Amino acid sequence: MTNDPAELLRMARELALEAGRLIADRQREAHITATKSSGVDIVTQVDLASERLLRERIAGLRPGDGILGEEGQDVPGSSGITWVIDPIDGTVNYLYGLPSYAVSVAAVTGPARSHEWTTLAGAVFDGSGRLWSAGRGLGAWRDGEALHKDGAPPLAESLVGTGFQYVARSRAAQGQFVAKMLPQVRDIRRLGAAAVDLCLVAAGHLDAYYEHGLHAWDFAAGSIIASEAGVKVAGIDGGAPDEHLVIAAHPAVWNELRDALETAGARELLAAP
């Protein structure tokens, strides 16, 4: 068994496709079975079925790998690879029949649950039936089409995606923050699935994206897809993105966006006390 990005990419695509088909088939029967950080942070029985499927497949295909998943216990591994999985990113959209949701699967090396890891491969299968994928040093694709983000407008003409946490107090702060960003950009989009948002930046359907308070499984796969397409995906100091803040934009506009975010208070917003 190797930790070759091409092999991990093949497996990430297979996992995302299989779980993506399962959730698409079961969308009509989805109902809420639990809530998490707040009453509006939901889990459906299909999130659990999709996560179960992903965990079984990973354990069968690469039993030495670790797993970090949204809906279950961490599994420590011995191979140096951890699979970071979101069985349904955008669960609220999924429940309401909106297309911006996805299965997100990434293979990373290095310490799990940390901005120190290196993502080797990722795949996102979205609710519109598109398979987005990337391997480290290999490139990024939407289905069979290679993605290259060439150039970008200045911030004032950028369409910028973002999102909000589920806890009311955090949302109130994020609402005040986005009000400071809105007059500085072409417009803001809140589409509801971070993994898909990052793929949309890779393909040029959004110019940029930022979000505070994501979990690793929300951005691990989308980040490698965007960065392999030529997007800079980083935290506030330009290092790896992390659970405090993810900023994604073409390198020509990334600093301008980061500076605007910083001036608006991004460093302090939702920072750990």
Contacts with ligand IPD, residue ranges (CB under 6 A): 70, 86, 89-91, 163-165, 192-194, 211, 214, 218
Which of 62/249 has CB closer to ligand IPD?
249
Min. distance of Cβ 33 from ligand IPD in angstroms? Answer: 14
CA gap 99, 93 in Å, rounded: 7
In the numeric block, which tokens belong to residue 106?
A: 């990434």
Instruction: Provide the minimum distance between the beta carbon of 205 and ligand IPD in the complex, in angstroms, as a whole number.
Output: 15
Q: Which two tokens stand for residue 200?
A: 């949309």
Calpha distance 78→82 (Å, rounded): 9
Distance spanning both ends of the chain, measured CA to CA = 43
Please identify, using beta-carbon distances, which residue of 135 and 222 lies nearer to ligand IPD: 222
Residues 93/193, Cβ–Cβ less than 8 Å: yes
Q: Which is nearer to ligand IPD, 23 or 257 (CB)?
A: 23
Residue 272, exposed/middle/buried by CB under 10 A (0-12, 13-18, 19+)? Answer: exposed
Q: CB 43 → ligand IPD: shortest distance, Å?
A: 9
Q: β-pairing, 131-135 with 118-126? A: antiparallel
Q: Which is nearer to ligand IPD, 132 or 164 (CB)?
A: 164
- Output the residue with the shortest Cβ distance to ligand IPD: 163
Q: For the stretch 175-197, what's the b/e string if a residue is b when 16 or more beta carbons lie within 10 angstroms of its beta carbon?
A: eebbeebeebbeeebebbbbbbb
Q: How far is the CB of 17 from ligand IPD (least distance, A)?
A: 19
Q: How far apart are CA 151 and CA 61, in angstroms?
A: 40
Residue 68 host element (H or E): strand 66-69
Minimum separation from the CB atom of position 191 to ligand IPD (A)? 7
Residue type, 168: A
Nearest approach in angstroms of CB 91 to ligand IPD is: 4
Distance (Å, whole) CA 85 – CA 64: 16
Q: How far is the CB of 10 from ligand IPD (least distance, A)?
A: 25
Distance from C-alpha of 252 to C-alpha of 125, rounded to nearest angstrom: 28
Q: How far apart are CA 238 and CA 198, in angstroms?
A: 17
Place of tokens 């960003």: 181
Residue 122 or 192 with smaller CB distance to ligand IPD: 192
Residue closer to ligand IPD, measured from CB, 115 or 215: 215
Nearer to ligand IPD, 11 or 214 (CB): 214
